[in-house]
Amino acid sequence: MIGQKGGDPSVRHGSGQSGWTTSVSLLVAAERAVFSFVGVLFFIAAFALAVRATADLWTLAMGPHATTMAAGTAFLDIMLLVLMMVELAYTVTVSLRGTVLAAEPFLIVGLIAVIRRMLVITIGDVSPSSPSNAAGGVGSQPVELGILTGVVLVLVGSIVLLRLRPRLRDEFETSADG
């Protein structure tokens, strides 16, 4: 333990530091316990949703033709949700390892969420029971799809820039040295 014999030499005994380091150690342990619990819940939720998606897949494959669109939409919606859960669980796992959190998993979760919303809007727009089709109007779907398309472009651009960053840094350092 920090502050005890063989511990961190920067901690002075009798200066109140050992109580502080004990408090910090307890908070770090509590944080790891919460992260572990949340990570396990994400994996359980992803597994449960994947099991549920198999029922929708069965309905899609073997159900009557009239339910194909609804079953396909439900399957796709659940599988995209599973991907989001797995990405979030991965982020929690990275955090537990103590490595620096990367922005890319969060961008991927956001990208999946935006694409999921775009698919819901698009499928709802072509569905015969859609409110916009029943009223004969278009509604705000094109505007929302346009905004979401912009968000997708920004997220993809951010992911590309993050992946290029080490290469760009190396090229900059090489050109600065030469």
Q: What is the pLDDT of residues 74-130, one digit of tens each?
A: 888 898 899 888 888 888 888 778 767 778 888 998 999 999 889 888 877 665 555
In degrees and rounded to multiples of 5, residue 151 shows phi and psi of -65, -40
Write the single-letter amino acid at 166.
P
Q: What is the pLDDT of residue 2?
A: 40
Cα 59–Cα 65–Cα 70 angle in degrees, nearest 5:
55
Cβ-based neighbours of 161, under 8 Å, separated by 6 or more: none
Tokens at residue 173, please? Answer: 């350092």
Rounded CA separation 5/172 (Å): 47
pTM above 0.75, yes or no: no
pLDDT tens sequence across 50-68: 999 888 888 888 888 888 8
pLDDT tens sequence across 155-174: 999 999 988 887 777 776 67
